[in-house]
Amino acid sequence: MASLISSQPQLLSQLNERKVLQVLHSHGPSSRAEVSRLADVTRPTVSKAVSSLLKSGLLEEYDAPENLRGRPAKKLRLAVKTAQVLGLVIDAPTCCLVSTGLDGVVRSETLCEFKTPRTYEQLLKKVTELVSQSRSLAGVRTLGVGISMPGLFDYRAGLSILSPNVPITNKQRLGADLSRRLGLDCVVLQESDALCLAERHYGLARGVDDFAMLDASTGIGLGVLTASRLLKGSNGLAGEIGHLPMDPNGIPCGCGRTGCLETLASDTALTRLVSQRVGRDLDIHQIIDLVQADELNVAAELDSVAQHLAFALVTTINLFNPQTLFVHSRMFDIDPLLFERLIERTEAMALAPSFRSCHIARARGSKHEGAIAGILAHLTDSRVSQSNSHSLEAL
């Protein structure tokens, strides 16, 4: 009991620091007086919280342009000149790393794509090199790395259980391994969760607390947010819609079974079908470029993939009755009418009342934005708790 009482003032300070961060996050650069008003805390409390946040590198104070009375005003903002965070996406066939300030605005010029390494050790080496390069930028302090991971991920153990598309991470603890090598906070999010966060921070789900995110890019995964809570299942493994068995005579899936939905309905399924027909390996970017240049017609393959993808939408709508269903996939860049046709097919198969109450939209957020949102949420959260878990509720 004694330790609980003695920790209360500290907890209160941390809660105030979090309030200051949240005000600057939602209102942008503000003076101390504005922060005091918006956070509804006294000036001395703001000063104390700000001084601790400046020391930890999360905030910057700067001279804003002169105000109407001709006096320069000191303003506070989330650190953008003196600190950065990194977002890492583990995926196939490529991974990527990107940096942002603590305002979360992605610096697209820093986006670095690299081929997914063949071994886990090579992956650690490559990421360590790229992070070191990024950290060597003069005067910039790196506060952490958010990581988007595909496959089944056990949050409590920080362990990748099974990654059908990036098997080098199977049975590995990438967050802990990178954290040890880099000496930085590294926070892992399963990629469907990363896309949910991305949509909430950068996309169309700002302020929406009930939606589903169907990712049909490399594999197929599902994130479901109900009343701001992410549905995770007893072991955090919920949402693996991509491994519904569809075709007993189908092709082998990375999960070890045969004919799973993701072998039929993802960007990867489309690239495989097209590559087989044209007799050479094409990735989704190449297919988009060739179709747009009128050098390739993939209507038949798109039709087959969209038919199966509609099944994934119907399953999601019938099972979870989401207010909004976001679909994340690059195949919509191939044909501007594909999304509309997908919705029509979904309507024909879904339960009518569930379909009518569901808005279906193309996701805007990306996995790297989700990785960034994850580390930013962690930094804000860790002002209150030093746990390595992430919480959508805090966003």
Binding residues for Zn ion, rule: CB under 5 A, are 243, 253, 255, 257, 260
Q: CA angle, 309 as apex, 303 and 313 as ends, to 5°?
A: 135
Nearest approach, Cβ of 53 to Zn ion (angstroms)?
45
Tell me whether residue 255 or residue 377 sits nearer to Zn ion (CB atom). Answer: 255
Nearest approach, Cβ of 362 to Zn ion (angstroms)?
25
Of the candidates 79, 67, 68, 178, which has an alpha carbon nearest to the alpha carbon of residue 120? 178
State whether the Cα torsion 261-266-271-277 is positive or negative: positive
Tell me whether residue 269 or residue 313 sits nearer to Zn ion (CB atom). Answer: 269
Tell me whether residue 142 or residue 217 sits nearer to Zn ion (CB atom). Answer: 217
Answer whether the bond into residue 93 is a cis peptide, omega within 30°.
yes
Tell me whether residue 126 or residue 257 sits nearer to Zn ion (CB atom). Answer: 257
Task: Tell me how far apart the alpha carbons of residues 206 and 200 are, in angstroms, rounded to a whole number.
Answer: 5
Tell me whether residue 243 or residue 378 sits nearer to Zn ion (CB atom). Answer: 243
Nearest approach, Cβ of 252 to Zn ion (angstroms)?
9
Nearest approach, Cβ of 59 to Zn ion (angstroms)?
46
Tell me whether residue 17 or residue 262 sits nearer to Zn ion (CB atom). Answer: 262
Nearest approach, Cβ of 235 to Zn ion (angstroms)?
18
Nearest approach, Cβ of 166 to Zn ion (angstroms)?
14
270 and 308 Cβ atoms separated by less than 8 Å: no
